Amino acid sequence: MSRAGSAVRAAPGGGSGSGGSALFSGFRALGLYSNHLPHVLRYHQRHREFYLLTAAGRSFHTYNVKKLGIVAVSNALLQDITCLAADRMLVFASYGNLLHAFARNKEVVHIYDGHKGEIRLLQPFGDHVISVDIDNVLIVWDVQSEEEYLQLNFDKAVFAVSAIMHPSTYLNKILLGSEQGSLQLWNVKSNKLLYSFPGWGLGSVTTLEQAPAVDVVAIGLVSGHIIVHNIKFDETLMKFQQDWGPITAISFRTDGHPVMAAGSPIGHIALWDLEEKKLISQMRNAHSTAIAGMSFVQGEPLLVTNGADNAIKIWIFDGPGGGGRLLRCRMGHSAPPTKIRYHGQNGQQILSAGQDGTLQSFSTVHERFNKSLGRGSINKKKSKRKGLQYDTMALPPITAFATEIARQNDWDGIIACHQGYITCTTWNYQKTSMGAHKLKPKAFIKNKPLDVYATVVDITTCGNFAVIGLSTGHVDVYNMQSGIHRGHYGKEKAHEGAIRGVAVDGLNQLTITAGSEGLIKFWKFKTMDLVYSANLSSSPSTMLFHRDSGILGIASDDFGISVLDIETRRIVRKFSGHHSQINDMTFSPDGRWLITASMDCTIKTWDLPSGW
């Protein structure tokens, strides 16, 4: 990260322990869109627009469906949101046994406290809201007065509530689904059980959804069956089954096409024709995790989906065959990031590599400039044919990368190495895709030793050359335009131990390498001759070079940090204070601060001029 301040602001806290930081404060989260909770779709009468709500940790985000642009971020609750629902006026969010009502998508205006167990189901209900907790206690709340209107206790052994809905036009009535597979219709005003549906002997109810037709409800079951049932006459109209596991979400088209969509735990969506009573299309790998929520937009051929893979997608049904095509999406990493760096000097783009195997670019200006460079692949064409689930061609996650914008319009400007993999890949920021070259030393092309892999990479300021360090101690130079090998440092290899850091100065005069055996070496970049070698007090774990000021930060295995001046080749500062492995470092743009992140859960800022 060449711009430390902005980078740290993206992650709240740090610095001085549990009290937070005196230098940095949480600014905003980048690339965070959705989790495992279903989204909520609501219509705004005055704006005449649909809005989409998704839970993101302790707050929820509001997007307009038209452009999928973020319009509001709510105030944060004390813990992560576990349930989300909304009516015409308010948004309801819960954590633990507390239920909160938000007004204007922002601030909490009501708190409902009465549950002893964690709330897991919510249902807005006119002037009331219904919540069900893990102890099987159902409470009907008066929204304005925050008082309990009614409390129902169910016996878990007989009727463990697993789904809840309000059937359309059924005044004061709610339909409950159970883990036993049976259903109950209740009048909450008179506190009466009106009717019990015995179930179908196919396992517990996972979801309930109102069909466009009055009295008709779709019941999703853990067995993968969907029962379309008339609750007025207790008559099953049709039954469907999909082989992808339990039904996670159901939605109906309301734009004149009799189509029902059903979601699965492996990310596939099935589309059923309700007139022909048959499967018309499959949308495979719509998400890389379970489909958390699914909603057809009222009166439009649009389907909104979200999942725990941190993605919101809008699909449009405008082509033949009945399937949907992706219209808009907001996607972040579906697994934790492994490395983040600024792309360019203006601090407007952050490149991020994640454990999900993708390389993504997040804009600090506006989310519409975000883009994904995709997943690394050994063979792109074969990867596309196989699909996400069965992709044996996918490369492991990126562990380190270097980026340079000088010649990115002419050829690839990003070089990356992958976990436990010897070949380094190039990436093209302009084309937002994997690049043309796969860089691998000739010595290892014929024989493929298992324990050899690329550890660190760097790109020269001019964007012409890439320097790659390997776990064997080899350091190689490649041409970024052609991918041709241009030489290596040392007679056979540069270091005896694994390479823990490589850096090239701003004028392509020096190459600096650090090895796990505890040596740091200076080489002439062009002739590849050794200029200087020095012993470090401890084996280095990571290294970072600030080109503008010519200072080098070295984190050691003993959790200490050394700062070295490459002009004098002497250690000018030493810092200690971390209690675990240092994962990453960055200099502030002016080179005065060094910021380190460690596995001891702290981010520390070191002032280089004063040595504090």
- Residue at 276 is within a domain: no
- Residue at 75 is within a domain: no
User: Does the structure show a pLDDT above 60 at 445?
Assistant: no
The mean pLDDT value for 552-565 works out to 93
> Number of folded domains in the chain?
1
How many other C-beta atoms are found inside a 10 Å radius of the C-beta of residue 497? 17
How far is it, in rounded angstroms, from Cα 135 to Cα 121? 12
Q: Which element (helix H / strand E) includes 385?
A: helix 380-386
User: Does the structure show a pLDDT above 70 at 71?
Assistant: yes
pLDDT of residue 344: 87
pLDDT of residue 245: 94
How far is it, in rounded angstroms, from Cα 390 to Cα 377? 13
Residue 442 exposed, middle or buried by CB count within 10 Å (0-12, 13-18, 19+): exposed
pLDDT of residue 387: 55
The conformation of residue 397, written as its DSSP 8-state character, comes to P
Q: Supply the range of the domain harboring residue 419.
A: 337-535
pLDDT for 448-463, tens place per residue? 556 889 999 999 999 9
- Residue at 462 is within a domain: yes
User: Does the structure show a pLDDT above 80 at 26?
Assistant: no
Provide the terminal-to-terminal Cα distance of the chain, rounded to the nearest Å. 21
- Residue at 599 is within a domain: no
CB 63 within 8 A of CB 56: no
- Residue at 366 is within a domain: yes
pLDDT of residue 4: 35
pLDDT for 153-199, tens place per residue? 999 999 999 999 999 999 999 999 999 999 999 999 999 999 999 98
CATH of the domain at 408: 2.130.10.10
Q: Please name the residues in contact with 47: beta carbons below 8 A apart, sequence gap of 6 or more.
A: none
Q: Please name the residues in contact with 491: beta carbons below 8 A apart, sequence gap of 6 or more.
A: none
- Residue at 479 is within a domain: yes
The conformation of residue 1, written as its DSSP 8-state character, comes to -
CB 376 within 8 A of CB 359: yes
CB 41 within 8 A of CB 295: yes
Query: Could you tell me the pLDDT band of residue 14, with boundaries at 50, 70 and 90?
Result: very low
**Residue 42, CA atoms < 13 Å, CB-side half-sphere:** 23
Q: Which residue bears the tokens 């697993």?
A: 162
Higher pLDDT, 443 or 208: 208
Of the candidates 337, 312, 288, 360, the one whose C-alpha atom is nearest the C-alpha of residue 33 is 312
Of the candidates 316, 299, 288, 214, the one whose C-alpha atom is nearest the C-alpha of residue 257 is 299
pLDDT of residue 19: 54
DSSP states of 212-226: SSTTEEEEEETTSEE
pLDDT of residue 376: 83
The mean pLDDT value for 233-260 works out to 94
User: Does the structure show a pLDDT above 60 at 328?
Assistant: yes
According to DSSP, the β-strands at 225-230 and 259-263 are unpaired
Q: Which residue bears the tokens 């065959």?
A: 321
pLDDT of residue 6: 32
- Residue at 87 is within a domain: no
Beta sheet of 70-73, edge-to-edge order: 40-44, 49-56, 59-64, 70-73
Reported pTM: 0.83
- Residue at 16 is within a domain: no
